[in-house]
């Protein structure tokens, strides 16, 4: 069973991370979770499954 973003990260958390990335002028943010795939979940936030590290 594939796990999707909605199961791993809340909308509020994602907005907070996007704001942090923009305010600190970072190239991107990184979310490490238990998803199945490495995926860009927004234009500047990359989701990486723990098993890929």
pLDDT digits (tens, 9 = 90+) for 2-45: 555 545 567 788 889 999 999 999 999 998 988 888 999 889 99
Return the pLDDT at 30. Answer: 93
HSE-CB for 35 with a 13 A CA cutoff: 19
pTM exceeds 0.75 = no
Length in residues, the chain: 53
Return the pLDDT at 7. Answer: 52
Return the pLDDT at 13. Answer: 84
How many separate domains does the chain show? 1
Return the pLDDT at 18. Answer: 92
CA gap 38, 50 in Å, rounded = 10
Neighbours of 52 (CB within 10 A): 10
- Host domain of residue 17: 5-52
Return the pLDDT at 1. Answer: 44
């Amino acid at each position: 069973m594939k796990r999707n973003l909605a199961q791993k990260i809340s909308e509020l958390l994602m907005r907070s991370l996007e704001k942090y990335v923009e305010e600190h002028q970072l190239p991107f943010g990184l979310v490490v979770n238990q998803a199945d795939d490495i995926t860009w979940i927004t234009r500047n936030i990359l989701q990486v499954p723990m098993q890929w590290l």
